[in-house]
Amino acid sequence: MKKLIGIGCILVVLSSCSVLNKSDTSGAAVQKSRLSPKERTSFDRLFYSANKEKILGNYDAAADLFAECIRKDPYNAASNYELANLYMMMGKQEGTIHFAKQAATIDPRNLYYQFFLAKAYQRYNMLDKASKVYEDLVKIYPDNLDVRFELAGALRTDKQYSKAVEEYDKIEEILGVVEEVSLQKELIYIHMNKIDKAALEMENLIREFPETSRYYGMLAELYLANGENEKALNTFDRLLEKKPDEPKAHVALANHYRSLGDKEKYFSELSIAFKSTKLSIDDKVEILFSYYSVTQSLPELTKQALELCKIMIAVHPDKAKAHSVYGDYLYRESRVEEALKEYQTAVMLDQNGFFIWRQILQLESELRDYSALLRDSKAAIALFPNQSILYLFNGIANIQRKQWEDAIATLTQGITLTTDNNQLLSSFYSNLGDSYHSRKDTGLSDQSYDKALEYDPNNIYVLNNYSYYLSLRGQELDKAQEMSSKAVTIDPKNTSFLDTYGWILYKDGKYKEAKEWIGKAIESGGHSRSVILEHYGDALFQLGEIDEAIRYWNDAIKFGGAAELLNRKIEDRRLHEKP
Task: Say if CB 506 and CB 539 are below 8 A apart.
Answer: yes
Of 117-126, 235-244, 540-549, the poorest mean pLDDT is in 235-244
Of 12-16, 23-27, 62-66, 219-223, the poorest mean pLDDT is in 12-16
pLDDT tens for each residue of 201-237:
999 999 999 888 889 888 988 988 898 888 888 888 8
Query: Residue 261 has what pLDDT?
Result: 82
pLDDT tens for each residue of 174-193:
899 999 999 999 999 999 99
Which run of H or of E encompasses 300? none
pLDDT > 60? residue 21: no
pLDDT tens for each residue of 499-523:
999 999 999 999 999 999 999 999 9
4 band by pLDDT with thresholds 50, 70 and 90? very low
Q: Mean of the pLDDT values across residues 49-78?
A: 91
Q: Where does 458-579 sit in CATH, by number?
A: 1.25.40.10
Query: Residue 579 has what pLDDT?
Result: 56
3-state secondary structure string across 477-530: HHHHHHHHHHHHHHCCCCHHHHHHHHHHHHHCCCHHHHHHHHHHHHHCCHHHCH
Query: Residue 529 has what pLDDT?
Result: 94
Query: Residue 214 has what pLDDT?
Result: 84
List helix spans (H) across 141-194. Answer: 145-157, 161-175, 179-191
CB crowding 313-333: b at 16 or more within 10 Å, else e: bebbeebbbbbbbbbbbbbeb
Q: For the chain, what's the residue count?
A: 579
Query: Residue 24 has what pLDDT?
Result: 38
Report the amino acid identity of residue 312: M
3-state secondary structure string across 332-369: HCCCHHHHHHHHHHHHHHCCCCHHHHHHHHHHHHHCCC
Q: Mean of the pLDDT values across residues 540-548?
A: 94
Q: Mean of the pLDDT values across residues 229-255?
A: 85
State the pTM of this model: 0.68
Angle between the N-to-C axes of helices 93-106 and 77-89, in degrees from 0 to 180, rounded to the nearest 10: 160
How many angstroms from the chain centroid is the CA of residue 51?
Answer: 43
Same fold, 10-124 and 458-579: yes
pLDDT tens for each residue of 306-357:
999 999 999 999 999 999 999 999 999 999 999 999 999 999 999 999 999 9
Superfamily of domain 10-124 in CATH is Tetratricopeptide repeat domain (1.25.40.10)
Mean pLDDT score across all residues of the chain? 89
Q: Mean of the pLDDT values across residues 550-575?
A: 90
pLDDT > 70? residue 87: yes
Of 575, 407, 411, whose CA–CA distance to 506 is shortest? 575
32 band by pLDDT with thresholds 50, 70 and 90? low
pLDDT > 50? residue 12: no
Q: Mean of the pLDDT values across residues 259-286?
A: 91
pLDDT tens for each residue of 117-132:
988 998 888 988 888 8
134 band by pLDDT with thresholds 50, 70 and 90? confident
Of 85-89, 257-261, 400-404, 425-429, the poorest mean pLDDT is in 257-261
pLDDT > 70? residue 61: yes
pLDDT > 90? residue 541: yes
pLDDT tens for each residue of 463-487:
999 999 999 898 999 999 999 999 9
The domain segmentation of the chain, as residue ranges, is 10-124, 458-579
Q: How far apart are CA 499 and CA 556, in angstroms?
A: 14
How many angstroms from the chain centroid is the CA of residue 340?
Answer: 24
Query: Residue 7 has what pLDDT?
Result: 29
